[in-house]
Amino acid sequence: MTKRIFITATNTDIGKTYVTTHLLKHYAELGHRVGVIKPIETGVEQSPPDGSSLLTLVQELNPLMKDLSINDLVPIQFRLPAAPYCANNAEPIDLAVVDKAIEKIEARCDILIIEGAGGLYVPIDKNTMIIDLIKRFEAKALLVSHCRLGCINDTILSIKALQERSYDFEWTLNCHDDDYSFATVSEPYFRDRYPDFTRFSRDIATIAQTLLL
């Protein structure tokens, strides 16, 4: 069976696509047939920017993906750069098109990375949040947090949300080169509260392996 990994984050612009990209490369280097899907992308003018870069990459890493189109990789697209609920005027969104896209992509891979949109509680429509997709797709989640001031609060809230639903997940910090304050204003707490915490760029091999368990 294909292993499904759902990439989510504490908010938007945290680095989900960066993490997805590097995990795809890492698994491919290990000999896995990789696949990827971004079920929903907003802010699409002509072609989904994140989805387009992921399509180019996955077609390079897995020749079986060559016949896929951008609509396979990003089956739901909206022009307004907002939560899907707002971008679609609060209308219901049929996620069955995503199920069909996943079925098509999974026939070509043994690891499928599903990239979410925004944070866990971004509303898709009146009945569904991004966090609900993890269960719908029966995936193991990777929560990505930032290293700026406020990361402690953001990380704990998202961890608790996943724990309350008894989801199978890992979490990591995606630190940027200019996050100079992290070592003094946030890292001491993580070292005490979560001594085994990971930083994505440093610990990608460990994270990738754990996600397959």
Q: Which amino acids are annotated catalytic?
A: 38
> What's the gap between Cα 209 and its chain centre?
16
For 169-180, the DSSP string reads EEEEE---TT-T
Task: Calculate ∠ Cα 203-140-96, nearest 5°.
Answer: 135
Per residue in 178-188, pLDDT tens?
Answer: 999 999 999 99
| Ramachandran class of 118: left when φ > 0, alpha when ψ lies in -120 to 50, beta otherwise | left
pTM, full prediction:
0.97
Per residue in 20-73, pLDDT tens?
Answer: 999 999 999 999 999 999 999 999 999 999 999 999 999 999 999 999 999 999
- Structural domains for the chain: 3-176+197-211 (3.40.50.300)
